[in-house]
Amino acid sequence: MKEIKILIADDEARSRNLLSLYLSKTKISCTLIEAHNGDEANMLIEKEHPDILFLDINMPGMTGIEILKSRVDKAIPAVILTTAFAEYALTSYDFDIIDYLLKPFDYERLLKAVNKAVRYLRFLESSGQDERPRHFIIKNGIRNTIVNARDIMYFMANGAYVKIASADHFYLIKETLQQIEGNLPGDNFIRIHRSFIVNVNFIKEIRSLLNGDYSILLSNGDTIRASRTFAWRLKSALGNF
């Protein structure tokens, strides 16, 4: 199994340090990332794609529950909730979490939760389970067209619809980019602009623009734009340019 990436989201330094100490005692090969508040945690989930998330419920900015609610239609790590308040237990189980740790907890209890999360990750890895769509069904009256995700070059926001572009066809579906993002298979699809998600396998050329944006030339000749706000995602996927 690959090295596990773990995000610890807690506004209390003492809690983050204790979790880091406990995790260092396990035999799990892992990389630790820390978030100091809810907004930072939500951003790091998008940026780092952690495998396991230790999520405090009461934090400045977004609360742990608000983060879970915001990601109902998006990919989410194996979540272990941590809190000092037992009354959140029932609310938390409205979401697909792995375990619920009530502070203060000891090393043995932490180890039990981590082992549950690792077993879950191994199950997904061994079974190839992936609930994200491998194809899209485009409805047009009584006709349904099936488009394989690997053939899609990019998604473009188009009013209340999203344009799906393949090499030689395009389709419209009544969705939003936010609904689509995070539910795409693999690591090939990247949000590069508030209006575009691109399949990096079809990128042919990247040109810098004067305002810091980038012009992306695709293999079929289409040109789309990557904003400087999202450029780090392209650089992370393709290397610095």
Are residues 28 and 71 part of one domain?
A: yes
133-162 mean pLDDT: 79
Last residue of a domain, one of 92, 127, 162: 127
Residues 36 and 148 occupy one common structural domain: no
Is 132 a domain residue? no
The number of C-alpha atoms within 13 Å of 82 and in the hemisphere containing its C-beta is 24
Parallel, antiparallel, or unpaired for β 196-199 and 189-193? antiparallel
Contact indicator for 137, 146 with CB cutoff of 8 Å: yes
- The CATH code of the domain that includes 98 is 3.40.50.2300
- Is 217 contained in some domain? yes
Considering the domain architecture, whether residues 196 and 109 belong to the same structural domain is answered as: no
Sheet holding 4-9, edge to edge: 30-35, 4-9, 52-56, 78-83, 99-102
Section 5-17 average pLDDT: 95
**What is the tens place of the pLDDT at every residue in 174-203?**
888 887 876 676 568 889 999 999 999 999
Cα separation, 142 vs 123, whole angstroms:
39
Please check the confidence at residue 1 and state whether its pLDDT lies above 60. no
- How many CB atoms are located within 10 Å of the residue 204 CB? 12
User: Helix (H) and strand (E) counts for the chain?
Assistant: 7, 15
pLDDT at 89: 60
Long-range contacts of 180-188 (CB under 8 A, 24+ apart): 180/155, 181/74, 182/71, 182/73, 182/74, 182/75, 183/73, 183/74, 183/75, 183/132, 183/133, 184/132, 184/133, 184/149, 185/130, 185/132, 185/133, 185/134, 185/149, 187/237, 188/150
Contact 53/7 with Cβ under 8 angstroms?
A: yes
Query: Mean of the per-residue pLDDT values for the chain?
Result: 85
CATH code of residue 203: 2.40.50.1020
Last residue of a domain, one of 68, 94, 127: 127
Tokens of 76: 């989410």
Q: Clarify whether residues 161 and 208 are in a common domain.
A: yes
Residues 93 and 191 in one domain: no
Q: Note down the domain range covering 162.
A: 137-238
- Domain annotation covers residue 209: yes
Same domain, 20 and 121: yes
More confident residue, 123 or 51: 51
Per-residue tokens: 235 = 């650089």
- Evaluate whether residue 98 is within a structural domain: yes
DSSP 26-92: SS--EEEEEESSHHHHHHHHHHH--SEEEEESS-SSS-HHHHHHHTTTS---EEEEEES-GGGHHHH
Residue 19 domain-assigned (yes or no):
yes
Is 158 in the same domain as 214? yes
Please tell me the predicted confidence (pLDDT) of residue 122: 82
Q: At what angle do helices 13-25 and 107-127 cross, to 10 degrees?
A: 70
Both 20 and 104 in one domain: the answer is: yes
What pLDDT digit, counting tens, does each position of 32-70 carry? Answer: 999 999 999 999 998 888 999 999 999 999 999 899 888
The residue among 97, 127, 157 that closes a domain is 127
For the chain, the domain total comes to 2
Q: Are residues 166 and 92 in the same domain?
A: no
Q: 67-117: per-residue pLDDT in tens?
A: 988 876 666 788 999 988 776 665 655 676 888 899 999 999 999 999 989
